[in-house]
């Protein structure tokens, strides 16, 4: 499999806190990698350094074999190739759903309005929200807003999508509609790194599960192997807690 995202020997500190310790991770094109682990283990930081929202002190991060530059135009271009969906939807409240999805293609890519609008409507259709295009984010449910955020990320035609706990802020009845859209993207071959506590999604949609603890990747295995026979005590302990309720 062709590697799309590669991290080699990556280290990151916040002050004296060593949040990422010698991270080696390869995500192949079309692969879905679910990242799980206790709170504070470095999952969000991992997403943020892949997208260069944070810098690292050592190691390399490459996207399709190209080094991710620390700044400049090249960084902006490469960053657009990796979309990110956060726990908080971060939509612009004063813009319609349609305008939110069109914004980056218009501003960053300089697309023509007609083209950006047609594409945005296609994407809203894909996430089941074509009929909500003229509304404002506050008029939508949390699940709908998160689906708009996914459409917005797709509007830049990213090579990969990073999801940082995309359903953690949602009411239970809205979680499945978002996971369903993500599952569909996975089936269509989108390369995805997904931080989530949704173990059903990990089991059914992930090619690999990466388990993190204290800034390290402790296990990196198929969901089948990970859930039926976790190797480390930390993973066993984590699974027993998370699967109990």
Ligand X SMILES: Nc1ncnc2c1ncn2[C@@H]1O[C@H](COP(=O)(O)OP(=O)(O)O)[C@@H](O)[C@H]1O
Q: Which residues bind ligand X (CB under 6 A)?
A: 14, 17, 19, 37, 39-45
Q: Which DSSP letter does residue 15 get?
A: T
Indicate the angle between helix axes 142-154 and 113-126, nearest 10 degrees.
130
**Cα(17)–Cα(149) distance, integer angstroms:** 32
Work out whether 44 is an interface residue with Mg ion (CB under 5 A): yes
Q: Pick the closer one to Mg ion by CB: 12 or 119.
A: 12
Q: Tell me the C-alpha distance between 123 and 126, whole Å.
A: 5
Q: Kindly tell me which of 36 and 178 has the beta carbon lying closer to ligand X.
A: 36
45 binds, among Mg ion, ligand X, none (CB under 5 to 8 A by kind): ligand X
Least Å distance between CB 215 and ligand X? Answer: 7
In this complex, which beta carbon is closest to ligand X, that of residue 43 or of residue 79?
43
Give, as ranges, the residues between 176 and 195 that touch Mg ion (CB under 5 A).
none
SS3 assignment, position 20? strand
Shortest distance in whole angstroms from residue 21 CB to Mg ion: 17
- Is 41 a binder of Mg ion (CB under 5 A)? no
Q: Which does 117 bind (CB under 5 to 8 A by kind): Mg ion, ligand X, none?
A: none
**CA-CA distances (angstroms) from residue 96 to 68, 80, 115, 135, 184?**
33, 22, 17, 5, 25
């Amino acid at each position: 499999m062709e590697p799309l995202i590669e991290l080699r020997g990556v280290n990151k500190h916040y002050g004296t806190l060593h949040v990422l310790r010698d991270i080696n991770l390869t995500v192949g094109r079309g692969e879905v990698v679910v990242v799980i682990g206790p709170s504070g283990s470095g999952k969000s930081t991992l997403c943020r350094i892949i997208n260069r929202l944070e810098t690292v002190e050592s190691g390399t991060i490459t996207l399709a074999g190209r080094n991710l530059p620390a700044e400049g135009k090249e960084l902006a271009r490469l960053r657009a190739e990796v979309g990110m969906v956060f726990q908080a939807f971060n939509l612009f409240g004063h813009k319609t759903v349609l305008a939110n999805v069109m914004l980056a293609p218009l501003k960053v890519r300089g697309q023509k309005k007609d083209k950006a609008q047609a594409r945005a409507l296609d994407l809203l259709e894909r996430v089941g929200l074509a009929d909500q295009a003229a509304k404002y984010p506050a008029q939508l449910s949390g699940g709908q807003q998160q689906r708009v955020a996914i459409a917005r990320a797709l509007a830049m035609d990213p090579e990969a999508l990073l999801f940082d706990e995309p359903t953690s802020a949602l009411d239970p009845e809205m979680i499945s509609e978002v996971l369903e859209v993500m599952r569909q993207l996975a089936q269509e071959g989108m390369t995805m790194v997904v931080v989530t506590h949704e173990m059903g999604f990990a089991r059914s949609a992930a090619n690999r599960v990466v388990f993190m603890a204290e800034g390290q990747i402790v296990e990196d295995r198929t969901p089948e192997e990970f859930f039926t026979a976790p190797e480390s005590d930390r993973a066993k302990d984590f699974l027993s807690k998370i699967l109990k309720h």
